[in-house]
């Protein structure tokens, strides 16, 4: 275990030295690195200022200043989107901003190339596959679960994605209205809890637990963003929700699922859930599960 920690520290040292040097050399050449980073984050489709700040971990004043600098240089514009919250602003790249991002992308490619160059073909292949693995697992380990109000922006965003996905995966489609009007307040303390999984300031999953009856909980709305599937986020959410249930003195938790959601069914089975008889009249449920909490 302590050998693991030594290995991670060694990795940390090497990587920050090597990437730090290269990043500055390639991307911070004639402009502050923070400006390049924010240009990247805006991306071709633009992004809400709010999100830029969160993703890069910037103070709102500082973020504003950087955007203003980009505006002065003619690389980006920010404006509030018509129809949406007029306070929130949205940053977009201008034409020359796009050009600039392409230039940065080319530099970034050179940077990557320069890391491969000195290696033999075999070493390069091994490095790339190890990097892919580290990237995957580092993202997994960077995901944090936070209890939030189910009406909060993050929770709402996840639920939106979740319902979209149900519509596209259920052969019969999905109508949120028909899904027995679930009261969001059920997922707020003290009757329940709603968790959001987040990575680098963005939401990548959610799940809620509510009280069905005394000592009996129900888990619903368990969703994991496609970009982080296979990293064990679903299981972490499930286990965290069960922990909440235990704290609330629940003895059993139930949940239901649609036939087409096979990964979910697999997750539930392997987490100790047993299939039981139908316990509700959810028109989209085909399987009903229950687990006794220790």
Partner DNA sequence: GGAAATATCTGACTAAAATCAGGCAATGAG
Partner DNA sequence: CTCATTGCCTGATTTTAGTCAGATATTTCC
Q: Would you tell me which residues interact with a second copy (CB under 8 A)?
A: 4-5, 7-12, 14-21, 23, 57, 108-109, 111-113, 115-120, 123-128, 130-135, 137-144, 200, 232, 236
Q: How far apart are CA 129 and CA 115, in angstroms?
A: 14
Please write down the HEC assignment for all residues of 24-48: HHHHCCCCCHHHHHHHHHHCCCCEE
The entry of a second copy, DNA, none near residue 62 (CB within 5 to 8 angstroms by kind) is DNA
Of the residues 49, 195, 196, 255, which one makes contact with DNA according to CB under 7 A: 49
Instruction: Candidates 11-19, 58-66, 114-122, 170-178: pick the segment binding DNA (CB under 7 A).
Output: 58-66
Comparing CB distances to DNA, the nearer of 13 and 274 is 13
Please write down the HEC assignment for all residues of 250-266: CCEEEEEECCCCHHHHH
Comparing CB distances to a second copy, the nearer of 111 and 276 is 111
Tell whether residue 72 is a contact of DNA (CB under 7 A).
no
Tell whether residue 89 is a contact of DNA (CB under 7 A).
yes
Q: Which residue pairs, CB below 8 angstroms and at least 24 apart, start in 182-190?
A: 182/220, 184/150, 184/151, 185/150, 186/210, 186/211, 187/150, 187/220, 187/221, 188/149, 188/150, 190/248
Tell whether residue 236 is a contact of DNA (CB under 7 A).
no
Provide the minimum distance between the beta carbon of 144 and DNA in the complex, in angstroms, as a whole number. Answer: 18
Tell whether residue 50 is a contact of DNA (CB under 7 A).
yes
User: Cβ(55)–Cβ(200) under 8 Å?
Assistant: yes
Residue 229, both tokens: 């599937």
Tell whether residue 87 is a contact of DNA (CB under 7 A).
yes
Tell whether residue 19 is a contact of DNA (CB under 7 A).
no
Binding site for DNA (CB under 7 A): 28, 31-35, 48-50, 53, 58-65, 67-68, 78, 80, 85-89, 153
């Amino acid at each position: 275990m302590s050998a693991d920690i030594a290995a991670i520290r060694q990795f940390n040292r090497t990587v920050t030295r090597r990437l730090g040097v290269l990043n500055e050399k390639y991307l911070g050449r004639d402009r502050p690195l923070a400006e390049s980073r924010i240009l990247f984050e805006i991306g071709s489709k633009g992004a809400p200022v709010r999100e830029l700040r969160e993703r890069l971990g910037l103070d709102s004043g500082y973020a504003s200043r950087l955007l203003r600098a980009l505006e002065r240089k003619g690389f980006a514009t920010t404006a509030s989107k018509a129809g949406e919250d007029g306070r929130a602003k949205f940053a977009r790249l201008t034409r020359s901003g796009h050009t600039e991002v392409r230039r940065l992308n080319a530099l970034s490619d050179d940077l990557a190339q320069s890391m491969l160059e000195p290696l033999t073909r075999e070493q390069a292949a091994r490095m790339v596959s190890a990097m892919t693995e580290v990237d995957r697992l580092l993202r997994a380990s960077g995901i944090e679960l936070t209890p939030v109000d189910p009406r909060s922006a993050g929770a709402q965003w996840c639920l939106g994605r979740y319902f979209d996905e149900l519509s596209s995966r259920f052969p019969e489609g999905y109508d949120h209205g028909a899904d027995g009007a679930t009261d969001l307040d059920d997922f707020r303390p003290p009757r329940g809890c709603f968790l959001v999984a987040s990575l680098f300031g963005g939401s990548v999953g959610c799940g809620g637990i509510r009280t069905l009856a005394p000592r009996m909980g129900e888990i619903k709305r368990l969703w994991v963003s496609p970009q982080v599937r296979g990293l064990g986020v679903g299981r972490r959410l499930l286990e965290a929700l069960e922990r909440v249930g235990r704290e609330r003195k629940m003895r059993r938790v139930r949940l239901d699922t649609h036939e087409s959601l096979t990964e979910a069914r697999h997750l539930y089975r392997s987490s100790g859930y047993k299939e039981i008889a139908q316990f509700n009249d959810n028109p989209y449920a085909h399987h009903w599960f229950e687990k006794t909490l220790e």
